[in-house]
Amino acid sequence: MFVSNKEIEIRYAETDQMGVVYHSNYIIWLELGRTQLIHDLGFSVTQLEADGYVSPVMDISIQYKAAMRYGQVATVRTWIESHGKLRTVYGYEVLHEDGTVAVTAKSEHILVKKESFRPVSLGKVDPKWDRKYKEIERKEA
């Protein structure tokens, strides 16, 4: 299984009054992880958008396990959980520097034409990208 890693230096502005990372910031970090995965595979979200396509989130689930704080470095691990004709599910872990899991999450995306929001298959837009996702999607044991 191919896993991409993205380090995030936790900024003071990302914390709440209790001194821990505010919950919605993790979702921003998941998107950083997703775009890092795409970049690591040699593809470009920017080019996809320039070609007239966007990939909205259809569903997201996140489980908070261990608080993170200002000054720490988080590592977002991202992989392809599943990839079908119209939907891709990304899997994530956000880890403390010692490997402790802070967050687990999944996000489900579709690909749509920017002007109409009509769904389109990644295989029709970029067959190479589609094949790569099918190749690396998580295989259950």
Nearest to 79, CA basis, from 87, 67, 88, 71: 88
Rg (CA), the chain: 16
Instruction: Judge residue 1's burial from the number of C-beta atoms within 10 Å of its C-beta, 0-12 exposed, 13-18 middle, 19 or more buried.
Output: exposed
How many C-beta atoms surround the C-beta of residue 140 within 10 A?
4
**Catalytic annotation, pick one of 16, 40, 51, 59:** 16
Cβ(52)–Cβ(114) under 8 Å?
yes
Measured distance CA(108)–CA(140) in Å, rounded:
18
| Catalytic residue flag (residue 126) | no
Q: Give me the active site residues, please.
A: 16
